[in-house]
Amino acid sequence: MNRQKIFISSVQSEFASERQMIYNYITTDALLGRFFEPFIFENLPARNVRADEAYLQQVQHSDIYLGIFGTQYGFEDKKGISPTEHEFNLALKENKTKLIFISGAASDKRHPKEEALIRKAEQEVVRKKFFSASELRTAVYAALVEYLEEKEFIRTGPFDATICRGATLSDLDVDKIKWFVETARSKRNFPIAVNAKPQKVLTHLNLIKEDGLTNAALLLFGKNPQRYFITAEIRCVLFHGNEVSKPIPAYQVYKGDVFEQVNRAVDFVLSRINLSVGDRSKSVDVQMEYEIPRAAIAEAIVNAVAHRDYNSTGSVQVMLFRNRLEIWNPGHLPSFLSIAKLKKPHASFPPNPLLAEPLYLAGFIERLGTGIPDMIHSCVAVGLREPELIQNEEFKVTLWRKVAQTDQVTDQVTDQVTDQVTDQVGEQVKRLIYVLQKKLSRQELMDLLSLKHGQTFRENYLQPALEAGFVEMTQPESPNSPTQKYRLTAKGKILQQQLKNKNKP
């Protein structure tokens, strides 16, 4: 099959980097590169032909006209028409497939003729707004996949863009969508209003089509994604030694949407690795540091969730050993991206871009290919061995621990104090006791411990501490008060002092 030719059109001076980004993305993507051959101005060979005529010839020879319209109109000929409009007019006349992407700039910021061109395009074709280069890339990806499906070049789309048959809006958690919009507006200036209808949010993210919801929509915002995707889960395991062996001290399977899975898996690791507590020499607040940087743990787990092969029957696995943390995912690097290239800043080619984009917008993932290099740097900066990346049947990331150091908070304390809680819960309770220096809210305590999942914190830290009598509420008569805070009891203060004495040099 001959590849479909795409003519990428825009005012040359306005979207040069975006044109190159789209060209690179299409040519290097395993799916899109198989079916499409893009053309951009910069690739026009030297010929004895006027540039504008050469561009129009390219439009005639193309199957798809991809227009990027912004604020500038560009050079005008004697008739007052720009090359971009000439190209669009020819695509219109030749009945080419037209994909139009419009920058989110306000109308009054546009050149009047550019605004008129946009209005003309809106009457002829379906268009898509974008507010960043990443959003443009995601929108182009979704449009081209849809084109392949409509033309029946492929009968099933990439997993995240495929329609989830039988799923309806009632399968989605409206509160989760609202949380996402609030978070994305705060983290990344997401342009959709908090009170926008779910359909508008999903449409902006390319997660809904005329024939239904995409798989990505269910994974991101589903009430019960595992109803449709049984293996979309994270399995977390703790081992005592450096090898897989029984008995297994802790084993959890986390389901739910991908945001919840990531938060719970990261909290699972944080609650079981060593934690150092400073002496307030530089701040009145407690200075705390996990033996593996939280950012590195989160990056490895988020990458596993975002880049895994969801058609596989395998699950993401997080395994914590005495000397290391391993994160496995059933996925593979693109053939053109080696481990060596992955460790350096590189272009981002997510296999599930409709899933990756909301994870970025919510602050769970970084773009531009800096996540892995940043993860490596953060580990090396605190004296850890460089993380190890291996691609075999699955992709594995290994983060190394500080095995020679002792845990400043989770060392065993006297039996008469700890016999009231289990060994495992006792470790988490002791961390809470150690950092609780004044009256603090639940969210303040979670922030202090770098924890994100409220249920995990309540079940493993706060509730056991309350039940054991180490911590009490400031408003016990109103346990659900929004102004509720927590403080140490006399019993808790004794335990805290014992922990401090234990940790003195």
Last residue of a domain, one of 347, 372, 400: 400
How much is the mean pLDDT over the chain?
Answer: 86
Flag whether pLDDT at 1 surpasses 90: no
Q: Is residue 407 part of a domain?
A: no
Comparing 452 with 174, the larger pLDDT belongs to 174
Flag whether pLDDT at 424 surpasses 60: no
What pLDDT digit, counting tens, does each position of 17-63 carry?
A: 999 999 999 999 988 999 999 999 877 665 555 667 888 999 999 99
Question: CATH number, domain at 334?
Answer: 3.30.565.60
**Confidence bin at 72 (pLDDT 50/70/90):** very high
Pick from 11-15, 233-237, 286-290, 480-484: least confident: 286-290
Nearest Cα neighbor of 271 from 55, 470, 446 is 446
Flag whether pLDDT at 501 surpasses 90: no
Residues 207 and 286 placed together within one structural domain of the fold: no
DSSP 126-175: -EEEESSHHHHHHHHHHHHHHHHHHTTS-SS--GGGSB-TT--GGGB-HH
Residues 268 and 361 placed together within one structural domain of the fold: yes
Count of structural domains, the chain: 4
Check: CB of residue 9 under 8 Å from CB of residue 87. Answer: yes
**Confidence bin at 98 (pLDDT 50/70/90):** very high
Beta pairing class for 4-9 and 36-39: parallel
Residues 101 and 136 placed together within one structural domain of the fold: yes
Q: Is residue 191 part of a domain?
A: yes
What pLDDT digit, counting tens, does each position of 387-406 carry?
A: 999 988 789 999 999 874 44
DSSP 44-103: PPP-SS-HHHHHHHHHHH-SEEEEEE-S------TTS--HHHHHHHHHHHTT-EEEEEEE
Flag whether pLDDT at 497 surpasses 90: no
pLDDT of residue 423: 39
Residues 274 and 359 placed together within one structural domain of the fold: yes
**Confidence bin at 116 (pLDDT 50/70/90):** very high
Residues 289 and 320 placed together within one structural domain of the fold: yes
CA distances from 320 to 63, 111, 251 (A): 52, 58, 10
**Confidence bin at 411 (pLDDT 50/70/90):** very low
Nearest Cα neighbor of 353 from 177, 165, 139 is 139
State the residue range of the domain holding 324: 234-400
Q: Is residue 220 part of a domain?
A: yes
Q: To the nearest whole percent, how much of the chain has pLDDT over 90?
A: 55
pLDDT of residue 368: 60
Residues 32 and 64 placed together within one structural domain of the fold: yes
What pLDDT digit, counting tens, does each position of 278-301 carry?
A: 655 555 555 678 999 999 999 999
Nearest Cα neighbor of 159 from 299, 356, 302, 338 is 356
Last residue of a domain, one of 225, 255, 273: 225
**Confidence bin at 413 (pLDDT 50/70/90):** very low
pLDDT of residue 415: 35
The pLDDT of 312-327, averaged and rounded, is 94
Residues 445 and 486 placed together within one structural domain of the fold: yes
Question: CATH number, domain at 483?
Answer: 1.10.10.10
CA distances from 221 to 158, 179, 213, 260, 315 (A): 19, 10, 11, 10, 19
Flag whether pLDDT at 103 surpasses 80: yes
Confidence (pTM): 0.67
- Max Cα–Cα distance, the chain, nearest Å: 92
Q: Using CA atoms, how far apart are residues 354 and 258, in angstroms rounded to an integer?
A: 13
Q: Using CA atoms, how far apart are residues 267 and 454, in angstroms rounded to an integer?
A: 10
Flag whether pLDDT at 222 surpasses 90: yes
Q: Which residues lie closer than 8 Å to 121 by C-beta, 6 or more apart?
A: 67, 69, 88, 98, 100, 102, 127
Residues 240 and 387 placed together within one structural domain of the fold: yes
Rounded to 5°, the CA angle 187-191-197 comes to 110
What pLDDT digit, counting tens, does each position of 463-493 carry?
A: 989 988 899 999 988 888 999 999 999 888 8
Q: Is residue 408 part of a domain?
A: no
Residues 272 and 386 placed together within one structural domain of the fold: yes
Residues 350 and 422 placed together within one structural domain of the fold: no
Check: CB of residue 257 under 8 Å from CB of residue 175. Answer: no
Last residue of a domain, one of 225, 254, 274: 225
Pick from 288-297, 309-318, 327-336: least confident: 327-336
pLDDT of residue 504: 60
Flag whether pLDDT at 105 surpasses 90: no
Q: Is residue 406 part of a domain?
A: no
Comparing 410 with 255, the larger pLDDT belongs to 255
Q: Is residue 409 part of a domain?
A: no
Residues 241 and 218 placed together within one structural domain of the fold: no
Flag whether pLDDT at 417 surpasses 50: no
pLDDT of residue 492: 86
pLDDT of residue 408: 42
CA distances from 471 to 80, 191, 494 (A): 76, 42, 12
Q: Residue 6: beta bridge partners?
A: 38, 64
Q: To the nearest whole percent, how much of the chain has pLDDT over 70?
A: 89
Question: CATH number, domain at 103?
Answer: 3.40.50.450
Residues 256 and 395 placed together within one structural domain of the fold: yes
Check: CB of residue 126 under 8 Å from CB of residue 87. Answer: no
DSSP 460: I
